[in-house]
Chain A
């Protein structure tokens, strides 16, 4: 049985989620309480020692992240809940955190609970939170970190260390600055969505490159770019103009 609490500043959200939990997974999750502020939430966590916290992002004038930062050690799983905070969703995706969008869909909730069974090690968990906090502090710059799922578990990367990504059907190979390669269970499209804002550009159906690591561009029909690791990446003809525009920025 998973012992859970909800921290959310709106009563109707707490009520709705508790009803949903009762309907969807009453035999898996035991809800111990709901708290409507960061302060009461912290007390609740200390008193009840839950396994799982459903944590709202915006809690009055504070955030769920503020709450987490005040804890010395995070010994529970967190599922974030939010209605629209785009920046937060972005941060969750980067750090491989579970999150639910409100109004919460029952199927999504079920899935999220199921994923909790895939237990991760304590160190991994600590790193996950580190990544989250780091990214929240560095919302716009390229020193962002990203957690990617590989066969050997989560790997924590600096966005800055990625030279390029190459698709391999539904997987992606990530080529890093230190000349290592990671085989990741995510599509190139997902990476494009994640990294597009951080100076990455998809020059080809199979290639997403970090614009910061281009050594040279050779003209041609679409042309090709040479990356700093001397790999040559073809640029799709249709992408050429847009790519050159992106380069000029």
Chain B
């Protein structure tokens, strides 16, 4: 993230790290809003009973996966390093968009799956987009803030899982009482 903002600042972002950061965050929110709206739209496009059944299957699969292994199903990679070569606004924009989508890079935590799943269950493109945007704002906005303050959070993923994993189990399980009556 630090490299991405620095490189984005070099040219094409008016020489400003603030502009580069803004492009990064706005792109992340755009990507997240699209993904959330799509999940909400998919949920709204199917009958409530089918939606509940599909969601129950997905929630159960993620719960089993989360109960068996700490590392979630994910694409184990970072954003494309070729984007660094652009040295203009595209570096920040592409990086932000990918991070906002979430699933194109490492997600790290099973809790992430609650975001698209609950956006699908909500079955409202606007609410889905809003919720997913909260993820992008927190994920990328906080990263940009920490970077601007020269704070680097290194490691600690095992400790973060101590909080995120129980919350993932609870959140996924909390969807059952919502979905079961709908099937």
A and B bind: no
The interface of chain B, by Cβ under 8 A from chain A, is none
